Structure formats: structure tokens, C-alpha cells
Structure 1
Amino acid sequence: MKDALRRIRRRYVATVVAGMVISTGLAVAAPTAVTSTAAAAALSDPVTLVNTESAQCLDVQAKNPSPGGVVGVWSCNGGANQKFSFRPNGELRAMSGTLCLVGADGATAPGTQLRTATCQPTGTPTLSITPKFSRGVGNTLVHSSSGLCVTKPAATAPDGSRVTLETCTTHAENQQWTSPGVTAAAPPKALQGVNWSAEGDNFRSDAIVPSGLSVTDSYAATYEKALPLVRQFKQLGANTIRVGVNARTLEWAGYRAALDAALDEDVNVMVGLWTGTEKRFYYDIPKADFDKVWSTLIAEYGSNPRFYANVVNEPKDNTANWQNFVNQFLHTYPQLPRNQVVVAGRGDDRFLTEVCNDKRLNGTVLSYHQYSVFELFHKTVPEWKSVMRGRLGIPSGETKSSCSDRTVVTEFGDWSQSGIDYNGPRDGDMHVSYMYAMTEVIRETGMGSLYWPGYGEKDAFSLTTREGSGATATLKVANQSLFDRIRYAWKLTDNAGGDGALTRTTYWTPGASGLCLVPQGNSVTAGSELIVDSCGSEYNRSSKDITSKVNGQLGMKWLCIAPAGGSVTTGTAVGLSTCAADGTQAWTHRASDQAMVHNASSLCLSVRGTPVSGAKLELNTCTGSANQKWSRK
């Protein structure tokens, strides 16, 4: 079946237009290759394990064919006693697959030496196999039962030196083991790219279909549409694409086509399991659905080093139960190397330190999410950085931590279509300050990062918008200054910003009412009327977030505040409209009397009657009355 799919892919690759270019106004640097071109070895193929520090090979001493053999290091010689195979059940086999590696006497404490032992009987359930070994982040070799790393004695170690299980240490070369000729998964820091989201979001009960594709399309039709979009993501500088999945998604034949299009373009694919629209905790996902998704995808893609499994997106849980759940996942699917397992921080992927410090999860990739609009409203870069550094466990005076070394910021983003200048002054606007802080922390720590979303229909954060449809669709960057900040994070430019125009995103309140200007029903859609209502507990949320643009427009998400209808007269209602560059949507906030003047008509933005909760807005003759006075909140 896979051979047939590959034939279909090759046939359709030849028919797709290859030269599509994203409209950015500049030449985009090519993405950096993150893995070698060597073919990945199958899990059961015997490989050598070469220590990075000494270039010695893991070795069954004296070529001992019997259980109890000592495991150490020796100059590489290609012998059968230096060949090891990772089995799908988690065993690490030696001596032509006849023996298994274990801790001496079953011990799991630091300092335990490795020995060979009789493997457990054929047919033993995977969950009963112990110990398991897996490749971890940084080319470590992790002993699953203890979370310890296989370790050569530090510095110069003569042939015959014994290896032990020790606490995993970041960047310790005596704990790094590579296999020549085997393509390894890219390290977390090398992953840079975008999320490719479904229309609106990936939280849904039906299939998660990446924007621009259709659930009614076949494998071949989906591949033909997906390939040009993948190539355009690469032109942005992306080497990794993150997509969502749920059990319903696997029923769509085109889903594999989207993954295959990316993999065929040598792009890493990170697949995250999303919960539904109503119940958002990881434990709300039915076990049958969870098992269906991961047993299917790991069987089909797990041996590809460009495939990463994001166990659950935003698990919500803030307790150790989340780590227990992930530990069970690791023991259920030991055939997937740990350096291809992406583990969310607690809550909404925001709290990493407890997950990072859980040694049972050593060797896995960590996922961090941080936005400006969902919990905080800092207006300076130092405030934002303090939050981010704390959640990444970065000590004062340091630029990174053992946690950040394993972390990919799998979601970060902000308003892309509201006219914000992200190259403007660093402090004063929470969105601008956040984006400076996030991209600078990514650059300073060297973390991997995936913008949310690179392309997502009906998403106010989408980095690009689509022009055209089908296989001829092109993507256009929605906000060049936002793209500048992302490129800075990825070290594709040294433009640190700070020279742009001042744009301020705040909330507006009439007179001394203490109310906020909001869309009726909090519905940010074209045609929605504007009212004044309680700022309430949702103070920092997007439904009251208004950007004062350089051109005089007042933006809310991707829309603009404008008079409703055609002609503008006294009493004309005011609502949300598609932004236009014809000058009819420009406003001036007059300092002398706090009036908000509509430039084209010289009428003032007014609350109809007394500013009370639910009162609508209109244009009226400027009088200086309290219902025409507007101030930033």
C-alpha cells in the first residue's frame, strides 16, 4: 500500500507548478537542512553506537556470547559485539540479537553498570518489557525505567572502560551516542516553522483539515493542493510544519497526502493530537480514539526521523497526572524514539518546569505555548521576558536552561491583520512588547519555534492570507513587520526592530462610565454593531482590543471600526467592517476635548444617550458632551 501511495505522490509531484513565490517584498533565505540525506535504518537493523566524546563504540566486552557480559567502550572495529538493534518493544539487543542490555542485577540507580541478559520470551506484552532503551534529545540513550542516560566515563577512557547509567546532563558528550549512516531526528533547536491550522482552529469534533484543503478531496487531489503550500512555507524559512489530528481526521484519505507532501519536500512534520470543542482536558479524549490515532500514525510514520508526535496539545491539567499519562505513552510506544516525542507543558503548554524535571520523561522534546492575549497584558519587554524565562526555568543571569535546550515553542503569535507595527517602539503596547520579548527569547536561547498559524483561515493571527484556490493558490504575508520579528527569531535577519511607527492597542471607554467599547455579543465579524459594555473579568481579551493604526484606522482583529451603510449622516450607526484604504475609515482622537472624530464627515463617535451597558454607538454632531469623550483604558 505504501509503495502505491509513493507512486501516486511521484506522479502528482510532476504535475504541480513548482515556482510559486510568497509575496513578501523581499527575497527569503532558504531553510537550513536539519538532517542528513542518508536513509533511516529500520528499528531492527543492527547499528553501531559511537560515543561523541571519545569516538569509541559501545561494546560487549570480550565478545561474550553469554548472559552477564560486561558492556563498555572500545575502539570501533565493526565486530558483531559492537552492533545493537532497537526493537519495537523497547528492547536494545546485542550479539546478533541474542541478548538484551539491562542494568546489572536489575538496578536502576545512578552508577549502575550495563550487562547483557537473556531477553524476555517472545510474545511478552510491550508494557511488561523492562528495561526499555530509546534515543533521546541530544543523541542521548535513555534507560526508560530510570530516566538515566547511558554514560561513558568522562574525559579519556581507555578501551575496556565500563559504561554506567547516570543522571542525564545537557550537552554532556560522554552521554551522546550516534550511529553512522543513520538519519537522526533534528534536535529541538533546529525546528523552525509554522502551524498549518484548520479553518478557525483545530479544536473540533469533526476532521481537522488544514486550511486550503478539503475533506471531500481524494489522496491525489489533496496532495496536488498541499504541495505548493508546503513549498511556500519553505520559502518563508520553515523547515517544520505542525498540523492537528483527531480520530475523525484519520477517516479522511487526504490527511496522509498533506503529511506526505511535507515529508517529500524534506520538511519535518509535527502532528499534535487535539481535544474536541467542548471538553478540553487530555483525559476527555476517549481512550479508543487516543489509541487509534497514535497506533496508526506511529505504525505508518514512526520510523521516519522527520516525524514528531505531539502527544496531546494543551492538556489543561496542572497536576502530575499529566506526566504519569505521558510516561504510560512512552512505555506503550517504545518504538518511537524519545527525541521524536513532543510533550506539552502543564496547563495550556505554558508551565514546563515540572515536566522538564520529571526524569521519567528524559530525552523527550518539550512544548511551550505563550500568547499575549489569553492571560497577561504586560506592556514592556522586560515584564514579558521575566514571565517567559521563569516558565522555561532560566536562572537569573543565564540565557538558557536544561529545559529550554529541550524546548520548541510550538505556538506563539499575535494579531497579523490589525495594522500593528511590530517594528515600532519596544514598550507601551502589549502586543508589540510581547512579540519583541518572545522572538528575542527564542533567539537568545536557541529554541526551536513554530508560529501560530503560518496559514489558517478565519484566524486573526495567520501570518499569511491566501489568494486563489486549489493547486494554484498563493500565500501572501499579512504583516511584514510581524514577519520581520519571526525572521529575527530564526536568525534569518539581524534587524532588531525599534525603528517603526507607534501603534497602540488598548481599550476605549466613554466618559467616566468605566465601560468598554465592544462588538455586540462579542462577535468580531463584519457587520457587527458596536456597543459599550462591562469590561469585566475578560479585561485583557481580544473582544475589546482596539489598535490605533498609523493611517488613522481603528482596528479590531482583522476588521476596522467604520460607519455602517453607504452615506454618512447624523445618527449613522457604527460597527465593524472590512478594512479599506480609501480614507473613509480614518479617525482622529482630539486631545482638547477627548472626542473621536470621523475624518471624512467631521462627526463624532457618540454613545446613543447615556453611556450604560448595552448602549449602541452612532455618529453625531460634535458637542463635547460626556457621551462623546473617549479615553484609553
Structure 2
Amino acid sequence: MRKTPARTRVTPRTRAALAAVAIAAIGATTLTGSPAAASASAAAPGHGTSQFRGVNWADPRDNFADDYLQLSGLSTSDDYAQTYARSSRIISAFRANLGANTVRLPINPYTVNGAYWKSYRAVIDAASDRGFKVIVSYWEGTGDKRDGLIDDEATFWPMWDTVVKAYRHDPRVYFEPMNEPHGYTDAQWADIAAKWLATYPSVPRDRVFVSGAGYNDHVTSVCADPRLKGTYLSLHHYGFWKSYATYDQWVADLKERLGDCADRTVADEFGAEMTTGLDYNVPTPSSNPVNFIQADTDTFRKLGMGSVYWPGLRTDDIYSIQKLTGDASRPWLTTTNQSGADRLAWAWGRGRPVAG
């Protein structure tokens, strides 16, 4: 939120070769001191989710599209190898600049069911090959389609058939059936999530993220549904949802949306202004964004929750914590707000607390 036929088979040997080319292109000096590749294994839901430390990589259109998704820094005219090389650099920059080990990516039927899927797969492959956990999530279209409902089940299920077939054996890839299903009641959404699980029984439940109901704004209803047992839950939380709240009020707001389900939940969207000069390392009681970010990152750390910032990269978004730099064919990233990056590090179990 914010607001947001037969296909070519890529063999493991091809992916490995492309990975070697991409890593060589990045250069050894760039990667010096980067955190080690994340383990593919993850703690089971119900035992904490702090292993997910990530960012969203988004289309400039907020991922709502009626055509191919084009992630910031990529081009739909690029082939698999070109997309893989660019994606490898951006994923490496997420790790080098932020210490991330997880990326959340959008999918839609236009992209997966169309010719661009041959190239778009390179984004997922590059992230997985770099040791990242990858959360793939369905986004709806624009205009009247942007209603919190599945746009067209006749294309939705074939999309997931393709994605699941391609990645069910990759332990680093996680499946989120739908982003922000706010057009459904809590009960209706739980029914759809249960249908997804029944449709793809070969997918381990601990590789599924069930979105919270509404705008992913509470997980209490899906957490209580026994049909969804064993899955991760995804929560979204944003400071702009209130015109102003104190630090303590933001902590209380987050905990109310979590209920007793923090040990299964990943906040796979949360964010605030990063390009307007705010300092998130300094207590500023009069600033709603500062109160929000400090409250959320403190609480994620305290509860052992994973978090995936929105957005890690989205062109021309004031919330974006990374910005493209360098030649378009060899992209790299710079951090837009170091204090924001510090707060992510704190949420992820590193760094220092905010000075009082």
C-alpha cells in the first residue's frame, strides 16, 4: 500500500553462471564487509520472525498496474541476463547499505502470465541466489480494480499456478496470496486464504504469508482461524494513519493490531518520510513520524518481530530509504536517511537505542 503457455526454463547451471557474472561486475571492493548471506532456513511460525530483515522493492506506480510491473531501476525491455545483472547489484546494495536479508516483490497476472515473466523471474532468482529471502505478493490493478478484491480469478489462479510451480522447491521464496485485501470482510478473506492453502498443498505452510485483514492492518482474525495454522502473518502499519500520536500511543496501536500473534507476524510494510531531513535518532515528541518510527522499531525488536520496510527502493517516493545512483546499466544505491537506516538496524537486532 501506501497510499500502495510453456515458458523458458532457467536451469540452476545458467543461474549460477549469471550469478558469477553479476558478482564479478559488482566488484570485490563493493562487497567487502557486507553481512554474510542469510541462511535459507527459518524459524517456524510461532517461534518468532526476527529472521526477516528486509525492504520492499517497488514499481514507481506503487505496484498497482494494469500491465507489466517495472521495478525501480529495471526495464521491461531487458532480457533475463540483463535483468539478473541489474537486480543482483540492487540486491547487493540492499545488503551492503542496510544489512537486509529479505526483499518483498510484487506480482500481477499481466507480468506472470505474459512474456515479461521470462525476464521478471530474474529478479526473484537474483535475490535467492544472493541468499535473500523473497516474499512475492499479488497486487491488484488500477482505477475501479483498486478495490481490495482479486481483479479476475480467471487470471489470478493461473498466475499463482505458474509462480508456485517455479518456486515451490526454492526454500528462500515465500508466497503472500494478496496484498491488502480490504475489499473483503475478515471472514471472506480468511476463506480465500484457506482456499489458497488448499489449492497448493505442496507449499509448506511456513513459506506462506497470510495478509492481515483490511489493509493488512490487523492480524487478529487470521491468527485465530485454525485453517491458517502454521503460516506467517503479515501486518502493515503507517504513521499517516493518524494525524498525531505520541510514542506510547503508537506502541499501543501496534500491539492492538497484533493481539497475541507477534510470534507469527512480520510487519512487511511500515515506513515514514526519509527524504525530508527528519532525524529518527533524536526523541522529538512533537513529531508524529519520529514517534511512529521509534515506537515501531523499538517494539519490533522487543517482540522479536521481523520487518520489511516500505519502500527500500521506489523512484520519487519520499518514504524510500534508498535512491538509485550510477549508470542505469550498472545501478547502485545510496541511503537517503542514515538515521532511518539506524532505526532499521535497531529493529533488526543491531545498533544502538535512541539517546534520551
TM-score (norm 2): 0.90
Q: Partners in 2 of 1:290 and 1:206 — Cα distance?
A: 14
Contact 2:39 2:131 in 1 (8 A): no
Contact 1:209 1:249 in 2 (8 A): no
Q: More strand per residue: 1 or 2?
A: 1
Q: Partners in 2 of 1:464 and 1:31 — Cα distance?
A: 20
Which residue pairs with 2:276 in the alignment? 418
Equivalent runs, 1:77-88 vs 2, <5 Å = none
Structure 1 residues 282 and 20: alpha-carbon distance in aligned structure 2, compared to 1, 3 A threshold: farther
Q: Partners in 1 of 2:232 and 2:161 — Cα distance?
A: 20
SS of 1:234 mapped into structure 2: helix
Contact 1:410 1:451 in 2 (8 A): yes
Q: Partners in 2 of 1:4 and 1:198 — Cα distance?
A: 24
Q: Which digits, 9 at most, give the CA deviation of each residue in 1:104-133, with x for residues without a partner?
A: xxxxxxxxxxxxxxxxxxxxxxxxxxxxxx
- Report the CA distance between 1:474 and its aligned residue: 1.4
Q: Is residue 2:135 matched to residue 1:229?
A: no
Q: Partners in 1 of 2:106 and 2:246 — Cα distance?
A: 33
Structure 1 residues 362 and 421: alpha-carbon distance in aligned structure 2, compared to 1, 3 A threshold: same
Contact 1:28 1:237 in 2 (8 A): no
Equivalent runs, 1:126-525 vs 2, <5 Å = 138=44, 170=46, 188-235=49-96, 236-250=98-112, 251=114, 252=116, 253-278=118-143, 279-316=145-182, 317-373=184-240, 375-393=241-259, 401=260, 403-493=261-351, 495-498=352-355
Contact 2:140 2:149 in 1 (8 A): no
- Report the CA distance between 1:137 and its aligned residue: 7.1
Which residue pairs with 2:3 in the alignment? none
Q: Which runs of 5+ in 1 are unaligned?
A: 37-135, 140-169, 172-186, 394-400, 500-633
Structure 1 residues 359 and 421: alpha-carbon distance in aligned structure 2, compared to 1, 3 A threshold: same
Q: Partners in 2 of 1:13 and 1:322 — Cα distance?
A: 39
Q: Partners in 2 of 1:423 and 1:480 — Cα distance?
A: 9
Q: Which digits, 9 at most, give the CA deviation of each residue in 1:453-511, with x for residues without a partner?
A: 11111211111111123342210000111111111101121x21246xxxxxxxxxxxx
Q: Partners in 2 of 1:22 and 1:321 — Cα distance?
A: 48
Q: Partners in 1 of 2:147 and 2:43 — Cα distance?
A: 27
TM-score (norm 1): 0.52
Q: Partners in 2 of 1:277 and 1:3 — Cα distance?
A: 31
Say how many residue pairs are matched.
342
Q: Partners in 2 of 1:347 and 1:341 — Cα distance?
A: 18
Q: Which amino acid aligns with 1:190?
A: Q
Q: Which amino acid aligns with 1:301?
A: Y
Structure 1 residues 482 and 22: alpha-carbon distance in aligned structure 2, compared to 1, 3 A threshold: farther
Contact 2:205 2:231 in 1 (8 A): yes
Q: Partners in 2 of 1:203 and 1:217 — Cα distance?
A: 21
Structure 1 residues 35 and 275: alpha-carbon distance in aligned structure 2, compared to 1, 3 A threshold: same
Q: Which amino acid aligns with 1:239?
A: N
Q: Which digits, 9 at most, give the CA deviation of each residue in 1:386-426, with x for residues without a partner?
A: 10011111xxxxxxx3x110001000111110111111224
Which residue pairs with 2:4 in the alignment? none
Larger Rg: 1
Q: Which amino acid aligns with 1:13?
A: A
Q: Which amino acid aligns with 2:104?
A: R
SS of 1:470 mapped into structure 2: coil
Q: Partners in 2 of 1:407 and 1:241 — Cα distance?
A: 16
Q: Partners in 2 of 1:363 and 1:268 — Cα distance?
A: 18
Contact 1:379 1:427 in 2 (8 A): no
- Report the CA distance between 1:34 and its aligned residue: 3.1
- Report the CA distance between 1:280 and its aligned residue: 2.8
Contact 2:37 2:132 in 1 (8 A): no
Contact 2:140 2:146 in 1 (8 A): yes
Q: Which amino acid aligns with 1:262?
A: A
- Report the CA distance between 1:224 and its aligned residue: 1.4
Structure 1 residues 329 and 237: alpha-carbon distance in aligned structure 2, compared to 1, 3 A threshold: same
SS of 2:239 mapped into structure 1: coil
Q: Partners in 2 of 1:379 and 1:369 — Cα distance?
A: 17
- Report the CA distance between 1:2 and its aligned residue: 7.3
Q: Percent identity?
A: 36
Contact 2:49 2:304 in 1 (8 A): no
Q: Which amino acid aligns with 1:226?
A: S
Structure 1 residues 345 and 4: alpha-carbon distance in aligned structure 2, compared to 1, 3 A threshold: closer
Structure 1 residues 28 and 415: alpha-carbon distance in aligned structure 2, compared to 1, 3 A threshold: farther
Which residue pairs with 1:68 in the alignment? none
Q: Partners in 1 of 2:303 and 2:123 — Cα distance?
A: 31
Q: Which amino acid aligns with 2:282?
A: G
Contact 2:186 2:221 in 1 (8 A): no
Contact 1:413 1:451 in 2 (8 A): yes
Q: Partners in 2 of 1:193 and 1:276 — Cα distance?
A: 25
Which stretch of structure 1 is more off in the superposition, 339-348 or 312-321?
312-321
Which residue pairs with 2:15 in the alignment? 9
Structure 1 residues 484 and 221: alpha-carbon distance in aligned structure 2, compared to 1, 3 A threshold: same
Which residue pairs with 2:39 in the alignment? 34
- Report the CA distance between 1:254 and its aligned residue: 1.4
Q: Partners in 1 of 2:73 and 2:265 — Cα distance?
A: 29
- Report the CA distance between 1:319 and its aligned residue: 2.8
Which residue pairs with 1:582 in the alignment? none
SS of 1:366 mapped into structure 2: strand
Contact 1:189 1:405 in 2 (8 A): no
Which residue pairs with 1:50 in the alignment? none
Q: Is residue 2:27 matched to residue 1:19?
A: yes
